[in-house]
Structure 1
Amino acid sequence: MARDWKLVIDCADPIGLARFWAEALGYQVEDNSVLIERLAAAGAVPPEAYVEVDGRKAWRELAAVRHPDDPVDPASGTGLGRRFLFQAVPEPKRVKNRLHVDLHVGPEGRAAEVKRLTALGATVLAEVADRGSEHTTMADPEGNEFDVQ
């Protein structure tokens, strides 16, 4: 049986990293304000659990991005398909990721995509030509590695 999944990424700034990856992937930042409003009104979450972002309540320590074509749970704003969930953790990133994202843009679009991602806050770590593949290894604003192919 196939399983549903989401990729969870530990980070220092979930809202900032969600904004970066939404732009990088063409995804949408999830809007959980309806759920937060409902839970706050019921006294189920304290005010320090959320912040206001762009005029809406957002979780202080969680933010997610989802593919724009995938379904959404209207009661919570949670994506029901392809998504990344960023969660705040107290410790900083220390070593190379054991899991990373590959963005496939093709050889003709790689230079422009690297330039676009750099403008969003990514950094170039290496240009790689190995095992018949050429790609650019980059890091997001918190240092998480990813490749542009």
Structure 2
Amino acid sequence: MTKEVQITFDCADPAGLAFFWAEALGYQLQPPPDGFDSWDAALEEFGVPRNQWNSRSAILPIEGHHPRVLFQRVPEAKAGKNRVHLDVRAAPGLEGNERMNALETEANRLEALGAARAYRVEPNKAMMETGFITMRDPEGNEFCLD
């Protein structure tokens, strides 16, 4: 039986990182529970202390069956390189200069949202490499534009 997958990020600012990744992936912020017009109203009604209001945030796909992404606040900072990372498929089916131009366009858009470039790998058929750009989200988590 196939299982559903949720991707979880440990972070310092769940709301800020959720906004970034919603924009990066074309997702939406998870709406508040039925009967509430905002998360603030829901959290207040539930009696959640204000200092916990930004302890979690989640994003959902706008369409299709893709994983929910959860962001949860943790006290420690990111300590090293990710052992798992996301590949954001920003140029499927494209090759060569057309592919790298599409990746550059997406890299520029994400930099405007707070991401940073780490490095770029050029296409190289002899190495079976199609080309990609490695980036870091606003909290330093590595991901690839592929």
What's the TM-score, normalizing by structure 1? 0.77
Q: Residue 77 of structure 1 aligns with which residue?
A: none
1:84 Cα deviation after fit: 0.7
Structure 1 CA distance for aligned equivalents of residues 103 and 43 of structure 2 = 44
Equivalent position amino acid for 2:60 in 1: R
Between the two proteins, the alignment pairs up a number of residues equal to: 130
Q: Residue 5 of structure 1 aligns with which residue?
A: 5
Q: Residue 57 of structure 2 aligns with which residue?
A: 63
2:49 corresponds to which of 47, 50, 53: 47
What's the TM-score, normalizing by structure 2? 0.78
Equivalent position amino acid for 2:62 in 1: P
Structure 1 CA distance for aligned equivalents of residues 43 and 105 of structure 2 = 43
Cα–Cα, structure 1 residues 49 and 134, in superposed 2: closer, same or farther, change >3 Å? same
Two-structure CA RMSD over aligned residues (Å)? 2.3
Structure 2 CA distance for aligned equivalents of residues 99 and 22 of structure 1 = 19
2:87 corresponds to which of 95, 98, 102: 102
Identity %: 40
Confirm or deny that 1:147 pairs with 2:144: yes
1:70–1:82 Cα contact (<8 Å) kept: no
Equivalent position amino acid for 2:106 in 1: E
* Unaligned runs of at least 5 residues, structure 1: 51-58, 72-80
1:40 Cα deviation after fit: 4.6
Equivalent position amino acid for 1:29 in 2: L
Matches within 5 A, 1:1-149: 1-32=1-32, 34=36, 37=41, 40-41=44-45, 44-48=46-50, 59-70=53-64, 82-106=67-91, 107=99, 108-129=101-122, 131-149=128-146
For the residue of structure 1 that corresponds to 2:109, the secondary structure is helix
* CA deviations over 1:41-86 (Å, ceiling 9, x no partner): 4xx5333265xxxxxxxx4200011100158xxxxxxxxx521100
* CA deviations over 1:99-135 (Å, ceiling 9, x no partner): 1111112214111001101111100001124642310
2:32–2:42 Cα contact (<8 Å) kept: no
Cα–Cα, structure 1 residues 112 and 38, in superposed 2: closer, same or farther, change >3 Å? closer
Structure 2 CA distance for aligned equivalents of residues 131 and 89 of structure 1 = 39
